[in-house]
């Protein structure tokens, strides 16, 4: 049995993921995972034997959730912020997932140099949503890097995803609907064909605030629009679908 305190640095906490007894180390003053990571882990259709890369893994939430829920073979996870990568590595060790998940501290913009081209069956990405023209930057740098395109752009994420994917490999990405035109144009530029899309609405009568997309490298041009995900029935009350997807972590 691990001594939990031995794994934690000052101001960090160990959060129970409510699945396979896995836990994750987080620092509330830096950045903690949100619903977008859980939705992406549920949306990603990973297959038995897949080798997967998670770009911008933060504290490792997506590969840890995917390791709990899928039969993929192995996960590499890339994170540029040393503190976040260190938390992710300690979470992997705490959950005894060292043979399943490898955390690398490095730059998304150089992913294909780090891992090689045509290496992965699938890529997951929960990239910064905002460019320099969108909203105010968080004064806390780790949060600003996670939310704004300070260290990488949408083009960087999609370009490097296309480079590291094998032919017919799949990219799973969550982003903001107001950037859909830019997302689709960039995917097409790098020969990633959008194949599946799902919009996420906070309420049934509100505009969507997230979008989940599956794109296939060198895929044929046809896209399936899935039924939308509605988060709340009424303020504070989750829909049955969210409870099914997100329930273990609430």
pLDDT at 132: 54
Q: Would you say residue 52 lies in a domain?
A: yes
Give the domain range for residue 94. Answer: 4-200+208-223
Q: Would you say residue 158 lies in a domain?
A: yes
Q: For residue range 182-239, what is the model confidence (pLDDT) as tens digits?
A: 999 999 999 999 999 999 999 999 999 999 999 999 999 999 999 999 999 999 999 9
pLDDT above 80: residue 248: no
Q: Would you say residue 48 lies in a domain?
A: yes
pLDDT above 70: residue 243: yes
pLDDT above 60: residue 143: no
pLDDT above 50: residue 163: yes
pLDDT at 72: 98
For residues 53-66, average pLDDT: 97
pLDDT above 90: residue 164: yes
Select from 188, 195, 175, 169 the least CA-distant residue to 126.
175
pLDDT above 60: residue 142: no
Q: How far apart are the first and last CA of the chain?
A: 26
pLDDT above 60: residue 149: no
Confidence of residue 3 (pLDDT cuts 50, 70, 90): low
Confidence of residue 136 (pLDDT cuts 50, 70, 90): very low
Pair 109, 82: CB distance under 8 Å: no
d(CA 192, CA 204): 30
Q: Would you say residue 156 lies in a domain?
A: yes
Q: What is the CATH number of the domain that holds 14?
A: 3.40.50.150
Q: Would you say residue 231 lies in a domain?
A: no
For residues 58-79, average pLDDT: 97
For residues 126-141, average pLDDT: 58
170, HSE (Cβ side, Cα atoms, 13 Å)? 14
pTM over 0.95: no
Q: Would you say residue 239 lies in a domain?
A: no
Q: Would you say residue 248 lies in a domain?
A: no
Structural domain count of the chain: 1
pLDDT above 80: residue 2: no
Q: Which is more confident, 138 or 228?
A: 228
For residues 33-37, average pLDDT: 92
Q: Would you say residue 236 lies in a domain?
A: no
Question: What is the rounded average pLDDT for all residues in the chain?
Answer: 90
Q: For residue range 92-113, what is the model confidence (pLDDT) as tens digits?
A: 999 999 999 999 999 999 999 9
């Amino acid at each position: 049995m691990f001594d939990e305190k031995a794994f934690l640095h000052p101001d960090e906490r160990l959060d129970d993921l409510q699945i396979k007894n896995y836990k994750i180390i987080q620092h509330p003053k830096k950045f903690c995972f949100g619903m977008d990571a859980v939705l992406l882990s549920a949306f990603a259709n990973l297959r038995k034997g897949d080798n997967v890369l998670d770009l911008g893994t933060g504290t490792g939430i997506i590969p840890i959730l995917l390791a709990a829920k899928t039969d993929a073979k192995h996960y590499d996870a890339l994170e540029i912020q040393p503190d976040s990568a260190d938390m992710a590595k300690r979470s992997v060790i705490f959950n005894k997932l060292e043979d399943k998940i490898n955390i690398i501290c490095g730059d998304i913009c150089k992913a294909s140099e780090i891992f090689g081209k045509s290496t992965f069956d699938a890529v997951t990405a929960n990239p910064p949503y905002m460019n320099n023209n969108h909203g105010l930057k968080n004064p806390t740098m780790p949060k600003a890097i996670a939310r704004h395109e300070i260290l990488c752009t949408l083009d960087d994420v999609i370009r490097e995803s296309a480079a590291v994917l094998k032919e017919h490999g799949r990219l799973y990405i969550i982003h903001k609907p107001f950037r859909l035109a830019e997302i689709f144009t960039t995917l097409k530029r790098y020969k990633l064909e959008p194949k599946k899309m799902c919009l996420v609405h906070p309420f049934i009568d509100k505009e969507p605030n997230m979008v989940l997309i599956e794109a296939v490298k060198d895929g044929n041009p046809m896209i399936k629009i899935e039924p939308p995900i509605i988060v709340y029935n009424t303020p504070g009350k989750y829909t049955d679908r969210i409870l099914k997807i997100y329930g273990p972590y609430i």
